[in-house]
Amino acid sequence: MIGDCSATYSGRASSTLDWGERLVLVKSDGSVVIHKREGYEPVNWQPSGCIFDTLIQPDGLLKIRAIRPSSRESLDIRFRSVFLIVELNLADRGDFLLYASEEDMKRAIVKYPSLIEDGFRPTMKEKRQPSGFIDVFGLDKNGDPLIVEIKKGLIRKEAVFQLGRYVSRMREGNPRVRGMIVAPSLGKGTAKLLKTLKLEFKQLSPKTCLDALQKERRARESMLSQRLCAHDD
């Protein structure tokens, strides 16, 4: 539904949402969300398990009440004008498969540096070099520069040579510069090449990085929920 609405929540706390033109979604599992014109997070919602009561009030307003019997929470949504109502029975039988990209791996490493090693401190993403961009640059626990090259698949010799060029140039000014390639596994002949070029390998899967990012997302959602509860109080 799209229309000019207000909302009142009562339960663990209480809140009111004044009149405004918004999008209201009621889903088949009994969840409901209210979206404002901007932002991806709902301004108010109720999780699955709600039962609904709909009526036209004596003042002519359309009222939709979403009640959660298990927690005695309710969300009353009132419309004084409705622009659009759409009812659909959606068929969605596809599985959701989420895979981490190299950019996701980079974000996870910057957010959780211990994925590389204890004491690692990223200072820059995509540090520019004459021959390309370093994925992640930082300092190890001893203060030595550490260049991290990230690959989401099998490491091939081309990737090792690429890291070798970055490290070789920076070692001209500081022989203590370390180079590390991060990936799920090594390709044929790459272990010997890494040793020859005095480079390191860290085994890290995209799934591990994805788990770290999901942990971050859950933490953000928990923080948002706490802020909303504090606002309701």
Distance (Å, whole) CA 226 – CA 220: 10
Assign domain 2-94 one CATH number from 2.70.180.20, 3.40.50.720, 2.60.40.3120, 3.40.1190.20. Answer: 2.70.180.20
CATH class name, domain 102-209: alpha beta
Distance (Å, whole) CA 122 – CA 134: 12
Q: What is the pLDDT of residues 14-67, one digit of tens each?
A: 899 999 999 999 999 999 999 999 988 899 999 999 999 999 999 999 999 999
Q: Which residues contact 120 (CB under 8 A, 6 or more apart)?
A: 113, 114, 138, 139, 140, 141, 146
Per-residue pLDDT of the chain (233 residues), as tens digits, is: 999 999 999 987 889 999 999 999 999 999 999 999 998 889 999 999 999 999 999 999 999 999 998 888 999 999 999 999 999 999 888 766 666 788 989 999 999 999 999 999 999 877 777 667 889 999 999 999 999 999 999 999 999 999 999 999 999 999 999 999 999 999 999 999 999 999 999 999 988 988 888 877 666 666 666 665 555 55
The conformational region for residue 36 under phi > 0 = left, psi -120 to 50 = alpha, else beta, is: beta
Record the pTM. Answer: 0.54
Q: Is 60 helix (H, G, I), strand (E, B) or coil?
A: coil
| Residue range(s) in the chain whose domain bears CATH number 3.40.1350.10 | 102-209
